[in-house]
C-alpha cells in the first residue's frame, strides 16, 4: 500500500492542495508524490531514501500521518524523521596512512614490494627482525648439534661481547647526538647471533672477542639503515681477520697471517653430538661416511677435510685426471654430497648444513625478505667466473672450462656441484646478502652478480675470511644501486 507523504510536502497551510478551497479535495484520489528514480509496477512498494540510508531505517522511523480529512487544527506539527547519525567513510582509506607521519619523521618509507596474495603488502622492521631471529636461532641450533658445547661457548662469547659494545655505543649516541640509535636492540641481537653462526668452529676465543667487539661498534656505523650499507657481520669478521696484521711491523709476518691455514678441522661423532668435546680428536682423518660407526678408539670428534678447501687445493689434479675426483670420493678424503647437505662437515658453526640454508633461504623468500633474481644472478655469476678462472699451479693461464670439457659428464657435474655447494655461496647469498641488498629490482641483479663473481674469485685465495670481501664490496655498492628504482624500507 503506498504511503502518503507529509501534508506540508504537497499542501499549503490550509490543508489542501494549492489553489483548492479549504477542507476540499479533488475527486481524483491520487495525491502528488515526489519524483523517484524507480518506475514500473513495483514503484509504489519501494521506499526511496534520497539520503542514502537503509530503507528499513526510514520505514520503521516514519511518523504516523493523520488522514487528510481530519481538521488541520488537530494535526500535530510535522516532525523531522529520526534517523541515526552515520559518519561518512571516505572511499579507499588505507589504514597504513596513520603511520605516515612517523615514517616521515624517521626519513623512511614503507616498502610496497609485490608478492604473493597471501602476504600483506607492507612489512615493518620489527616483523623483519623477528624473521631474522628465527633464522639465526635455527642456524645456531645446527651448529650446536655438530660442534657441541665448545662451539656454543665460542658463539656465546661473541654474542655477549657484541651486545655489550652495542649498549655502550647506544649510550654514547644518546649523549652525543641527543637521539635514539637508528637500529633497534632486536636488530643488534640478530646480528650478534648471525656473527656467532658465521664463526669458524674450533677457533680460539680471541677471534670471538675481537669480532664481537667490532660488531657492537659497527652496528651504529654501517648496515641496512646507514649511508654505508656493508653488512656489519662481514665487516666485523674482516676486521678480526686483519687485526693481527696491525700488531706487527714485519711484512713477512703479515703475509703469513693473511694466508694462514686453520688447525685441522673436525666434527663431532654421531653418538656425541651436542655433548661432545670438539678438542677430543681422533689421531687420523676419518675416511668413512659420518654416520658409519668406527671400531677404532672412541673420541668425541672426527678429523675431516673441508670440501671446498680440499677441492681448490687439489683442483689441478682433479681437472687434469678424470679418475682423481672419483678416487677422492671412494677413499673418503672428500666428503660426500650427502654429508655436505646434512652439515656433518667442518666449517662455520651455523652454516655447514647446506640443506638448512636452502630451507631458510626459501623461508626468507616466502616472507619477501630475500629476492630470487638476486640469488639466481649470484649463482650464475659464480658459475661463469668459475669457468674462466685460471687453474692453480699451471705454468700457463689455462681456464677451468678448458679442462672441464675434457672430463666425463659426471665428473663435470660433481666438480661444479662441490664448488657451488661446499663454498660459502649459499651462506652469503641466501642469509646475509638480502639484509643489505639494494631497494631497486635491477640493482639487486647487479648486486647478485658482484657478490657471486667476487666470491668465486676469493675461493682461489687460501685465506679463511676472504669470502666476506665479496659481501663487503657488494655492500659498498648497494646504496648507489638504489637509484635504478626507488623502494623504501619501513620503520620498526
pLDDT tens-place string over residues 356-378: 999 999 999 998 888 999 999 99
In a domain, 150, yes or no: yes
Q: Using CA atoms, how far apart are residues 137 and 193, in angstroms rounded to an integer?
A: 7
**What does the buried/exposed string (b/e) look like for 446-466 if buried means 16 or more CB atoms within 10 Å of the residue's CB?**
bbbbbbbbbbbbbbeeeebbb
Is 302 inside any structural domain?
A: no
CA 84 to CA 228: how far, in whole Å?
Answer: 58
CA distance linking residue 276 with residue 144, whole number of Å: 10
449 found inside a domain: yes
Q: Is the pLDDT of residue 452 over 90?
A: yes
Among residues 382, 364, 386, 385, the alpha carbon closest in space to that of 437 is found at: 364
In this predicted model, which residue has the larger pLDDT, 402 or 66?
Answer: 402
Please state, in angstroms and as integers, the Cα–Cα distance from residue 102 to each residue in 55, 105, 182, 489, following that order.
Answer: 42, 5, 14, 13
* Domain boundary residue, one of 258, 284, 319: 258
Judged on CB neighbours under 10 Å (0-12, 13-18, 19+), 32 is exposed
Give the 3-state secondary structure of residue 276: coil
Query: What is the C-alpha separation between 374 and 443, in angstroms, rounded?
Result: 9
Does residue 166 fall inside a structural domain? yes
Q: Both 460 and 341 in a single domain?
A: yes
Q: Are residues 62 and 194 in the same domain?
A: no
Residue matched to cell numbers 668465486:
456
Measured CA distances, 177 to 105, 174, 250, 325, 339 (Å) = 16, 6, 40, 59, 51
Domain final residue, candidates 12, 44, 73: 73
Residues 68 and 188 in one domain: no
The listed range with the strongest mean pLDDT (193-197, 220-224, 468-472, 487-491) is 193-197
Q: Which stretch, 11-25, 48-62, 230-244, 444-458, has highest mean pLDDT?
A: 444-458
- Measured CA to CA, the distance from residue 219 to residue 231 in angstroms comes to 9
What's the number of CA atoms in the CB half-sphere (13 Å) around residue 342? 14
Q: Which domain holds residue 360?
A: 307-484
Is residue 31 over pLDDT 90?
A: no
In whole angstroms, give the CA distance from residue 432 to residue 452: 13
Element (H, E) at 283: strand 281-285
Total structural domains within the chain: 3
Average pLDDT of 444-466? 86
The answer to whether residue 278 is domain-embedded is no
pLDDT at 204: 83
Give me the mean pLDDT over the 408-431 stretch: 91
Per-residue pLDDT tens for 224-241? 888 889 999 999 999 888
pLDDT band of residue 37 (cuts 50, 70, 90) is very low
Q: Do 351 and 479 lie in a common domain?
A: yes
- Whether residue 9 contacts residue 81, with contact meaning beta carbons closer than 8 Å, is answered with no
Q: Which candidate, 140, 143, 141, places its Cα nearest to that of 159?
A: 140
Q: Specify whether 68 is located in the same domain as 6.
A: yes
d(CA 190, CA 194): 6
Q: Is the pLDDT score of 308 beyond 80? A: yes
158 with 224, same domain: the answer is: yes
Residues 152 and 68 in one domain: no
Chain centre to alpha carbon of residue 304: 33
Residues 245, 160 share a domain: yes
Strand partners, 268: 301
pLDDT at 182: 84
- Distance (Å, whole) CA 413 – CA 280: 36
User: Does the residue 119 lie in any domain?
Assistant: no
Is 143 within 8 Å of 201 (Cβ atoms)? yes
Amino acid at each position: 500500500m503506498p504511503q502518503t507523504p507529509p501534508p506540508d510536502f504537497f499542501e499549503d497551510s490550509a490543508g489542501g492542495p494549492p489553489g483548492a478551497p479549504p477542507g476540499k479535495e479533488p475527486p481524483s484520489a491520487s495525491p502528488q508524490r515526489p519524483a523517484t528514480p524507480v518506475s514500473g509496477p513495483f514503484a509504489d512498494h519501494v521506499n526511496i531514501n534520497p539520503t542514502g540510508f537503509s530503507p528499513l531505517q526510514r520505514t520503521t522511523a516514519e511518523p504516523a500521518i493523520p488522514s487528510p480529512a481530519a481538521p488541520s487544527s488537530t494535526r500535530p506539527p510535522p516532525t523531522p524523521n529520526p534517523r541515526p547519525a552515520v559518519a561518512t567513510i571516505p572511499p579507499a582509506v588505507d589504514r597504513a596512512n596513520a603511520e605516515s607521519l612517523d615514517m616521515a619523521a624517521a626519513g623512511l618509507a614503507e616498502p610496497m614490494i609485490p608478492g604473493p596474495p597471501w602476504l600483506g603488502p607492507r612489512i615493518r622492521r620489527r616483523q623483519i627482525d623477528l624473521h631474522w631471529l628465527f633464522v639465526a636461532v635455527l642456524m645456531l641450533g645446527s651448529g650446536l648439534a655438530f660442534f657441541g658445547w665448545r662451539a656454543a661457548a665460542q658463539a656465546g662469547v661473541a654474542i655477549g661481547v657484541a651486545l655489550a659494545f652495542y649498549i655502550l655505543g647506544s649510550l654514547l649516541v644518546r649523549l652525543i647526538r641527543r637521539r635514539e640509535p637508528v637500529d633497534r636492540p632486536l636488530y643488534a641481537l640478530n646480528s650478534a647471533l648471525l656473527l656467532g653462526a658465521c664463526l669458524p668452529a674450533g677457533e680460539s676465543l680471541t677471534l670471538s672477542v675481537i669480532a664481537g667487539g667490532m660488531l657492537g661498534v659497527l652496528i651504529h656505523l654501517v648496515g641496512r639503515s646507514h649511508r654505508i650499507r656493508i653488512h656489519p657481520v662481514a665487516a666485523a669478521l674482516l676486521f678480526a681477520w686483519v687485526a693481527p696484521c696491525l700488531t706487527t711491523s714485519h711484512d713477512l709476518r703479515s703475509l703469513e697471517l693473511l694466508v694462514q691455514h686453520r688447525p685441522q678441522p673436525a666434527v663431532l661423532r654421531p653418538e656425541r653430538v651436542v655433548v661432545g668435546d670438539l678438542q677430543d680428536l681422533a689421531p687420523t682423518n676419518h675416511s668413512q661416511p659420518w654416520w658409519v660407526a668406527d671400531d677404532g678408539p672412541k673420541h668425541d670428534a672426527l678429523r675431516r677435510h673441508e670440501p671446498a678447501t680440499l677441492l681448490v687445493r687439489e683442483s689441478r689434479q682433479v681437472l687434469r685426471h678424470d679418475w682423481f675426483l672419483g678416487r677422492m670420493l671412494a677413499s673418503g678424503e672428500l666428503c660426500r654430497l650427502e654429508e655436505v647437505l646434512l652439515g656433518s662437515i667442518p666449517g662455520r658453526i651455523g652454516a655447514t648444513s647446506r640443506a638448512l640454508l636452502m630451507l631458510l633461504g626459501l623461508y626468507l623468500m616466502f616472507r619477501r625478505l630475500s629476492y630470487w633474481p638476486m640469488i639466481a644472478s649470484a649463482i650464475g655469476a659464480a658459475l661463469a667466473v668459475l669457468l674462466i678462472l685460471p687453474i692453480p699451479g699451471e705454468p700457463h693461464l689455462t681456464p677451468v672450462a678448458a679442462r672441464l670439457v675434457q672430463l666425463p659428464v659426471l665428473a663435470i657435474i660433481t666438480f661444479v656441484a662441490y664448488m657451488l655447494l661446499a663454498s660459502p655461496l649459499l651462506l652469503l647469498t641466501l642469509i646475509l646478502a638480502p639484509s643489505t641488498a639494494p631497494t631497486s629490482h635491477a640493482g639487486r641483479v647487479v648486486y647478485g652478480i658482484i657478490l657471486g663473481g667476487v666470491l668465486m674469485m676469493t675461493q682461489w685465495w687460501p685465506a679463511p675470511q676472504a669470502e666476506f670481501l665479496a659481501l663487503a664490496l657488494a655492500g659498498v655498492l648497494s646504496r648507489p644501486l638504489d637509484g635504478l628504482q626507488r623502494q623504501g624500507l619501513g620503520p620498526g
